[in-house]
Structure 1
């Protein structure tokens, strides 16, 4: 697991990347203003495990949205050193992490839609029951 705290131009955020049984996963957490050490520690100890479990659960439900894990290739040591130096000069976010976050956002969006649809149906059923009770009350003549 790797966590990177960075400033994206507007807010401070944490990018958490990890390899699980389901493949490569990433999530983004926005802190807002510059976080202090205790805020980062609180995020790691309290919120991170819950967010990762949620991500794992969502991926289990919709496995086809996550990108396929890449096979590591053997690389010449000199080339590896050049790539490391090149990576140091690049911005913090990687395309792979952006794809994983986009997929996780799609999963969250699907879950939210499902929950709101269920809530709307429950409310509609509740209103129907109220209307039926009122109708029965009127028939009684009270």
Structure 2
């Protein structure tokens, strides 16, 4: 792993879960981690309910756009976190992989998306602790 770990969050549409995870990691890690997100079938825009749920905790993800997962982006990551993209996510030897089983926020009411947001935060905090262990 490089001095500055590179984390790639991947879900199908890159409009909800992966964007919320990237938002949390950017918020909690600052510039100590390089953060990217992508989707196997990116949507046209972010899920507005996911945007609102993140706004409620002071994190603005409105400047992000769904992007397609590329081979190069996956190859460049030190840690690849998948969230429901199944077999469409490439596998590279020597990479650390995590598969987070999370409810897809698409079409869900805000109370469900808040639960997903909070679950993602807990997972991101654990990941961050693994990337930057305290002595």
TM-score by length of 2: 0.28
TM-score by length of 1: 0.27
Question: Which structure is higher in helix share?
Answer: 1
Which protein has the larger Cα radius of gyration, Structure 1 or Structure 2? 1
Q: Which has the higher contact order (CA 8 A, sep 6+)?
A: 2
